[in-house]
Amino acid sequence: MIADGVAYEVTVEFGDGDRDRFESWFPNVVLDWTTQPDIRSFRVHRGVDADGERLRFVFTFETEDDWERFVQRSAHRERMDHLESVAETVRTTLWTPGAIALGGDGPAIVPATGTTETTIDPSDRAEVEPGL
């Protein structure tokens, strides 16, 4: 995962015979697809479990606006349309940074919309007993 920015995952699952169609298509489009403006980085992950093989393409962007421009481009839409035609399942997820909320009545994980600097006065620290 990334510490800042956003990550866009495209997860692809293949059925019987789908993988060959993907293999003949992907090398011809990967460079154009993954070097579009606004992409900060690109990674691919391969997973195999009892349900079969999955590929996960992870594109990272500086901002959600950068991601939105990317997914609206015809280059991306055409690649996604083709993936959907050669794969059994295609899922997308947009990940944004989260923060852990300490205390309060709200959710434990909240959107990370900024940072807060806190200074701790050494005189406010409670003594910690050994073994705790």
pLDDT, tens digit (0-9, with 9 covering 90-100), for 90-129: 999 999 888 787 777 777 777 776 544 444 444 544 554 5
DSSP line for 30-98? HHHHHT-TTEEEEEEEEEEETTEEEEEEEEEESSHHHHHHHHHSHHHHHHHHHHHHH-SEEEEEEE--E
Quick one: pLDDT at residue 45?
96
Q: What CATH code is assigned to 6-96?
A: 3.30.70.100
Domain boundaries of the chain, sorted by first residue: 6-96
Quick one: pLDDT at residue 97?
85
Quick one: pLDDT at residue 1?
44
pLDDT, tens digit (0-9, with 9 covering 90-100), for 10-53: 999 988 778 888 999 999 999 989 999 899 999 999 998 887 78
Task: Kindly report the pTM of this predicted structure.
Answer: 0.74
| pLDDT-based confidence at residue 74 (cuts at 50, 70, 90) | very high
Nearest to 13 by CA among 60, 61, 67, 50: 50
